[in-house]
C-alpha cells in the first residue's frame, strides 16, 4: 500500500518534470532534479520489482551503494523476455506490450496498468510535441491545431500488444484531427501489411487539398509502400511542410534497405526532402522515444543523424569490451535510463550499438547482427534450423 502511494507520488513528480521540460519555463536545475528522481525511482524499483532486485543483488548493488544515476544497474533488454520485470502485481497488469521479432523468438514483455499507460502516453506525446513544435507557445499542455496523420500500422485496437501502435494512437488522439488514418492491416498469421489502395487514396486526397501531413510507419512498412509505388509507377509530391517519420528496424524481415537508400526513395516517390524525414528510436522495453533529424536538405548522410531522448531519459554509451562508458565519438552499446519506465525498470541495456555524441547518439546497428568470424558458422543458417 505504502509502495503504491510512493509510486503514485513519484508519478506526480515526474509529470511535473515532463511539463517543465517541454514548456518554456524549463527548470534551471533539471540535472539535479533528474538525479534525484532517478535515485528515488531506483529505490522504488529495487523494493518492488523482485526479478530486478535479484539481478542487482547478484551484482552486489543496492540503493545504499548508489549515489549517481549512472551507477544504477541496467537490466538487459533480453531480461524482458526471460523474466517478468515489473513492479506491478500480476492482478494489476491490464496491458502488456510485446516486442516485434521473429516468431521463433520469445518476445520481450512490458507490463502496464492504467496509470503507467497514461504515463507512457504523457511521455510519448510530450517529447513528440516538443520535438516538432506542436504545442501552443503559451501553454505546453495545449496542442497546436490538428493535422492529418497517416500511420502505416494497423488500427491500435487490432494490435493491442504493440507499443508502437499505442504510441501512434496517442499522437493521433492529440493531433490527428478527424482525417487521420491507420492504413495497416494484420494478416491472419499476425503479419502487418498495408492497404495500398487506402494509402494511395489518402495521399491523393491530401495532395489535392494541399494540406501538409505526417506520414508515419516502420522502416519496413515504408519499404513495402515504396515498392508498391514503384511497381505502380506512382509518385507524389506531398504538400510543403509534410513530414515522414520512420521508426524501428527490420527484426525478422527478409529484406533490409539501408537507411540512406530508404531516405532517397522517400524523396523520390513522396517528394519529401531529408530535412523533413525524421527517424525514431524506441522499443517496447522503454516508455520514451528518441528522434533524429537531418539538419539541412543537403544533409543526406542519414548515418550522421544524432538521436536525442527527452530530458527524462538519458543515455550512456557503454564499451562492450570493458563495461565502462566510452569517450565522445566512440562506439558502444546504448544504455537508456528512462524515468518514464516507472513500473518496470528504468535502466535498460539495449543490444544496439551507437556512437556517443554529447547527450545523444548516432545509431550504428544491432549487436546480434554481427556475424561470427571464421568458418565456425553459419550462425544464421543453423539458427534457422534451431
Q: How far is the CB of 279 from other proteins (least distance, A)?
A: 21
Question: Which listed residue (14, 55, 72, 216) binds other proteins by CB under 8 A?
Answer: 55
Stretch that binds other proteins, among 97-105, 168-176, 297-305, 315-323 (CB under 8 A): 315-323
Question: Which listed residue (226, 353, 361, 362) binds other proteins by CB under 8 A?
Answer: 353
Please count the residues of this chain forming the interface with other proteins, following the rule CB under 8 A: 40
Cβ-Cβ contacts under 8 Å for 353 (sequence gap 6 or more): 331, 332, 333, 334, 363, 364, 365, 366, 367
Stretch that binds other proteins, among 76-84, 236-244, 270-278, 286-294 (CB under 8 A): 76-84
Stretch that binds other proteins, among 93-101, 153-161, 244-252, 364-372 (CB under 8 A): 364-372
Q: How far is CA 122 from CA 14, 68, 128, in A?
A: 10, 26, 10
Q: How far is the CB of 347 from other proteins (least distance, A)?
A: 12
Stretch that binds other proteins, among 119-127, 152-160, 251-259, 319-327 (CB under 8 A): 319-327
Question: Which listed residue (219, 272, 277, 333) binds other proteins by CB under 8 A?
Answer: 333
Stretch that binds other proteins, among 140-148, 228-236, 287-295, 368-376 (CB under 8 A): 368-376
Nearest 5°: CA angle at 132, between 294 and 227?
A: 55
Cβ-Cβ contacts under 8 Å for 124 (sequence gap 6 or more): 167, 170, 171, 287, 288, 289
Q: How far is the CB of 332 from other proteins (least distance, A)?
A: 7
Question: Which listed residue (9, 16, 32, 54) binds other proteins by CB under 8 A?
Answer: 54
Question: Which listed residue (323, 327, 328, 358) binds other proteins by CB under 8 A?
Answer: 323
**Between 196-209 and 219-231, two packed helices, what is the crossing angle to 10 degrees?**
80
Question: Does 370 participate in binding other proteins (rule CB under 8 A)?
Answer: yes
Residue 355 in 3-state DSSP?
strand
Question: Does 372 participate in binding other proteins (rule CB under 8 A)?
Answer: yes
Question: Which listed residue (64, 90, 91, 382) binds other proteins by CB under 8 A?
Answer: 382
Question: Does 351 participate in binding other proteins (rule CB under 8 A)?
Answer: yes
Q: Which of residues 79-118 bind other proteins (CB under 8 A)?
A: 79, 82-83
Which residue has cell 561470427? 372
Stretch that binds other proteins, among 86-94, 225-233, 338-346, 349-357 (CB under 8 A): 349-357
Q: How far is the CB of 386 from other proteins (least distance, A)?
A: 6
Residue 128 pairs in a beta bridge with none
Minimum CB distance to other proteins smaller for 67 or for 369: 369
* Full 3-state SS string of 246-294: EECCCCCCCCCCCHHHHHHHHHHHHCCCHHHEEEEECCCCCCCCEEEEC
Question: Does 62 participate in binding other proteins (rule CB under 8 A)?
Answer: no
Minimum CB distance to other proteins smaller for 78 or for 260: 78
Question: Does 274 participate in binding other proteins (rule CB under 8 A)?
Answer: no
Cα separation of 269 and 265, whole Å? Answer: 6
SS3 content of the chain, % helix, strand, coil (to 5): 40, 20, 40
Nearest 5°: CA angle at 347, between 313 and 311?
A: 10
Stretch that binds other proteins, among 165-173, 199-207, 275-283, 320-328 (CB under 8 A): 320-328
Cα separation of 56 and 47, whole Å? Answer: 11
* DSSP 8-state assignment for residue 325: B
Phi, psi of 293 (to 5 degrees): -125, 150
Cα separation of 242 and 256, whole Å? Answer: 25
Give the largest Cα separation in the chain, rounded.
Answer: 63
Question: Does 65 participate in binding other proteins (rule CB under 8 A)?
Answer: no
Q: How far is the CB of 34 from other proteins (least distance, A)?
A: 25
Question: Does 379 participate in binding other proteins (rule CB under 8 A)?
Answer: yes
DSSP codes joined into one string, 167-185: HHHHHHHHH-TTT-EE-EE
Question: Does 385 participate in binding other proteins (rule CB under 8 A)?
Answer: yes
Site residues (CB under 8 A) for other proteins?
51, 54-55, 57-58, 75-76, 78-79, 82-83, 319-323, 331-333, 349, 351, 353, 365, 367-370, 372-379, 381-383, 385-386
Amino acid at each position: 500500500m505504502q509502495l503504491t502511494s510512493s509510486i503514485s507520488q513519484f508519478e506526480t513528480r515526474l509529470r511535473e518534470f515532463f511539463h517543465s521540460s517541454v514548456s518554456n519555463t524549463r527548470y534551471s536545475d533539471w540535472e539535479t532534479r533528474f538525479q534525484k528522481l532517478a535515485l528515488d525511482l531506483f529505490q522504488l524499483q529495487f523494493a518492488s520489482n523482485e526479478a530486478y532486485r535479484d539481478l542487482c543483488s547478484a551484482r552486489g548493488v543496492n540503493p545504499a551503494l548508489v549515489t549517481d544515476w549512472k551507477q544504477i544497474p541496467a537490466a538487459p533488454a533480453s531480461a524482458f523476455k526471460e523474466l517478468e520485470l515489473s513492479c506491478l502485481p500480476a492482478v494489476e497488469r491490464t496491458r502488456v506490450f510485446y516486442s516485434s521479432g521473429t516468431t521463433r523468438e520469445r518476445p520481450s514483455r512490458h507490463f502496464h496498468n492504467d496509470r503507467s499507460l497514461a504515463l507512457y502516453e504523457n511521455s510519448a506525446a510530450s517529447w513528440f510535441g516538443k520535438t516538432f513544435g506542436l504545442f501552443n507557445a503559451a501553454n505546453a499542455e495545449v496542442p497546436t491545431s490538428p493535422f492529418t496523420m497517416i500511420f502505416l500500422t494497423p488500427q491500435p485496437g487490432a494490435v493491442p500488444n504493440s507499443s508502437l501502435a499505442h504510441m501512434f494512437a496517442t499522437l493521433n488522439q492529440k493531433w490527428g484531427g478527424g482525417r487521420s488514418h491507420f492504413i495497416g492491416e494484420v494478416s491472419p498469421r499476425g503479419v502487418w501489411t498495408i492497404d495500398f489502395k487506402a494509402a494511395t487514396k489518402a495521399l491523393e486526397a491530401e495532395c489535392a487539398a494541399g494540406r501538409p501531413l505526417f506520414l508515419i510507419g516502420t522502416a519496413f512498412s515504408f519499404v513495402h509502400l515504396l515498392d508498391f509505388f514503384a511497381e505502380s509507377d506512382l509518385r507524389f509530391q506531398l504538400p510543403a511542410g509534410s513530414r515522414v517519420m520512420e521508426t524501428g528496424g527490420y527484426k525478422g524481415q527478409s529484406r533490409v534497405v539501408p537507411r540512406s537508400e530508404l531516405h532517397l526513395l522517400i524523396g523520390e516517390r513522396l517528394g519529401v526532402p531529408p530535412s523533413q524525414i525524421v527517424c525514431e528510436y524506441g522499443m517496447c522495453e522503454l516508455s520514451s522515444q528518441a528522434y533524429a533529424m537531418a539538419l539541412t536538405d543537403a544533409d543526406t548522410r542519414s548515418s550522421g543523424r544524432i538521436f536525442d531522448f527527452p530530458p527524462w531519459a538519458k543515455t550512456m554509451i557503454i564499451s562492450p569490451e570493458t563495461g565502462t562508458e566510452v569517450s565522445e565519438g566512440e562506439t558502444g552499446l546504448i544504455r537508456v535510463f528512462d524515468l518514464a519506465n516507472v513500473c518496470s525498470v528504468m535502466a535498460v541495456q539495449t543490444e544496439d550499438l551507437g556512437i556517443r555524441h554529447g547527450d545523444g547518439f548516432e545509431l550504428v546497428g544491432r549487436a546480434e547482427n554481427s556475424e561470427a568470424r571464421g568458418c565456425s558458422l553459419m550462425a544464421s543458417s543453423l539458427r534457422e534450423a534451431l
